[in-house]
Chain A
Amino acid sequence: MTDWWSYRPSDFLLFSPTTYWRLFELENAAVWPLPLVTLLAGLAVLGFTFRPPTWSGRPLALLFGLAWAWVGWSFLWQRYAPINWAAGYVAPLFALQALIFVWIAAAGAGCRLGTRFTLSALPGSLLLGYAVILHPLTALLAGRPLAGAEIVGIAPDPTAIATVGLALLMPPGVERWLLLIVPSLWLSASAVTLLTLSTWEGWIPIAVLGLTLLTVRRSPAA
């Protein structure tokens, strides 16, 4: 091909906003009551961030690893790939992210968080809280039914945002950087997809990426 530069994101968009948002409604219905379980698990993780028990590092890593593996297989591979063949190529990255979490749990102490809540932990806590509690409500804000809410551990965007939040709560270092790569790639792709669909929700992953960048730049070196 000699004219790839002439292609725009809209040239690769193969589905309508209606079809895209219906995916979440169908996924929630298909795996119900799992969305309720992952929501409660997300709330529990949020509680941990304020006063994490010393033993919570490995369970946290394994829980997030499980979430990435599930979202990659159930949502991306089973639900999203039929309407977007590119999702089939992204799903293995979700498996890779799951493996990174497993590796962090097996080789180290897992996702160790600070034992006391400090101001520097604010961006991570905010993102985690947003992903678990507020992001599902964007469906209502956009005039869609709550049945199609994007729930952490079920839908990719809140799972990626929660992971970014978790990583920002961890001390700077290789493990944090490793955990940020795939979610950042996904959020970038999600922003392009949503903005191409002309939906305001596309600005959410951009805001998350901006906050992440600001936070890691201000973090002291490991």
Chain B
Amino acid sequence: MKVDRRQLLLGALGLAAVRPRSEGAHAQTAHEVLRRIPSTGQAIPAIGLGSWITFNVGDDPLLRGASAEVIAAFVEEGGGMIDCSPMYGSSQGTIGYGLQRLGYPSSVFSAEKVWTNATGDGPGQIAETLDEWGVRRFDLLQVHNLVAWEGHLETLFAMKAEGKLGYVGVTTSHGRRHDLLERIMQRYPIDFIQLTYNVLDRDPEARLLPLAQERGIGVIVNRPFQGGALTRRLRNERLPAFAGDLGAESWAQVILKHLLSHPAVTVVIPATTQVAHLRENKRAAHGSLPDPTLRDRIVEEIRSL
């Protein structure tokens, strides 16, 4: 099923059911949950697609083809945010190849980053990144890992003001530099933050996620599976009974549902090389999400294993 931008904007059917309303699992829509970007109200699928490691395949025709299949499945499942960075080797070119094969579907929300120590090199790097993707404009540009963030933010805000960019954001990962991230959130009119948040790395819950809600900043969650370590650790563990109540068929879906049930979270961007995992991830945004009590049980259960 292809969903274009217009449909996304109109597709707020799932929005009303985003937040849990009662104890335990809470029934939602049969379709993927859509989230609203706080600064504009634009609707966006809650499960995006990361590209760290998975799409960095160089010019290997076999692996490039496999990556393009994952992108095609992502678009077929409703599309949404595809996130990348100049730091991720050849991933940008791989995404460009996958999108070109699909005729650049409008259901893809393009999220990129600027990653260079020299502020003056930012515009040039962004131009190269546009070439790699084969697009003329990005929906979102973020300052990667807060590298030279002041100068790059200036560049990105100027691009946004000129209509050359949809949204501005900053990123961090692995729980680093949260103090600085908090200061930026308080002082700058950014649209998105991106950070690491998962069932075991829950620092953002203390200050950053509430602040994002308060300031109307969208939250993109990276490393939902701790780079795969979390799902590998749980691979041989039996799913708890409450997984069935949530409609979760796997630990990956339990973990994603836990993240999606936080009201501050806008998009989660798991990365994968496999179409089956991509579809499984997308299904996590269908059906029910846990309420606060069940969220705690999920954390306790996984910690105990």
| Chain A interface residues toward B at CB < 8 A | 2-3, 6, 10-11, 13-16, 18-19, 22-23, 26, 79, 82-85
- Asked if A26 contacts B60 (CB within 8 A), the reply is yes
- A212 shortest CB reach to chain B, Å: 31
Cβ of B63 < 8 Å from any Cβ of A?
Answer: yes
Contacts A19-B63, A82-B59 given; does A13 touch B176 at CB 8 Å: no
Measured CA separation A6–B172 after assembly (Å): 13
B88 within 8 A of A: yes
Is B52 engaged at the interface, CB distance under 8 Å to the other chain? yes
Q: Is the CB of B54 within 8 A of A16?
A: yes
Residues of B within 8 A of A18 (CB): 63, 273
User: Are B89 and A22 neighbours in the complex by a CB distance under 8 Å?
Assistant: no
Report whether B176 and A10 are in contact in the complex, using a CB–CB cutoff of 8 Å: no
Residue of A nearest to B91 (CB): A14
B60 A19 Cβ-Cβ under 8 A? yes
In angstroms, how far is the closest chain B Cβ from the Cβ of A145?
12
Closest residue to B147 on the A side, CB-wise? A1
Question: Would B177 and A15 count as touching, CB distance under 8 A?
Answer: no
CB atoms of A15 and B176 under 8 A apart: no
Residues of A within 8 A of B58 (CB): 19, 23, 26, 79, 82-83
- Asked if B119 CB lies within 8 Å of chain A CBs, one says no
A83 near B90 with CB under 8 A, answer yes
Would you call A14 and B60 a contact (CB within 8 A)?
Answer: no
* In-complex Cβ contact of B87 among A2, A14, A19, A23 (8 A): A14
* B176 and A14 form a contact (CB under 8 A): no
* B6 contacts A by Cβ under 8 Å: no
Is A6's CB under 8 angstroms from B174's CB?
yes
Checking B59, B62, B176, B273 against A16 with a beta-carbon cut-off of 8 angstroms, the contacting residue is: B273
B53 and A22 contact, CB distance less than 8 A: no
The reply to whether B63 and A22 form a contact with Cβ atoms under 8 Å apart is yes
Closest to A3 in B: B176
B89 lies within 8 A of A83 (CB): yes
Note all chain A residues with C-beta closer than 8 A to B273.
Answer: 16, 18
Most chain B C-beta atoms within 10 Å of own C-beta, residue among A3, A23, A82, A84: A82
Task: Decide if A13 touches B53 in the complex (CB within 8 Å).
Answer: yes
A-B contact pairs, 5 of them (CB 8 A): A13-B53, A14-B88, A14-B89, A22-B57, A79-B58
For A84, what are the chain B residues with a Cβ–Cβ distance below 8 Å? 89
Residue B227 lies at the interface, judged by CB distance under 8 Å to chain A: yes
Complex alpha-carbon distance, A26 and B59, angstroms: 9
**Nearest B residue (CB) for A80:** B58
**Complex contact B57–A19 (CB within 8 A):** yes
In B28-61, which residues have CB < 8 Å from any A CB? Answer: 52-54, 56-60
Extra contacts besides A3-B177, A19-B58 (14): CB < 8 Å: A2-B177, A3-B176, A6-B174, A14-B53, A14-B56, A14-B89, A15-B89, A16-B54, A16-B273, A19-B63, A22-B63, A82-B59, A82-B89, A83-B56
Q: Which residue of B lies closest to A84 (CB)?
A: B89
In the assembled complex, the CB of B275 is this many whole angstroms from the nearest CB of chain A, namely 15
| Residues of chain B lying within 8 A (CB to CB) of residue A85 | 87, 89
Give Cα A6–Cα B196 distance, bound, in whole angstroms.
15
- Kindly report which residue of chain A lies nearest to residue B177, judged by CB atoms: A3
Q: Which 3 A-B pairs have the closest CB atoms?
A: A82-B58, A83-B89, A83-B58
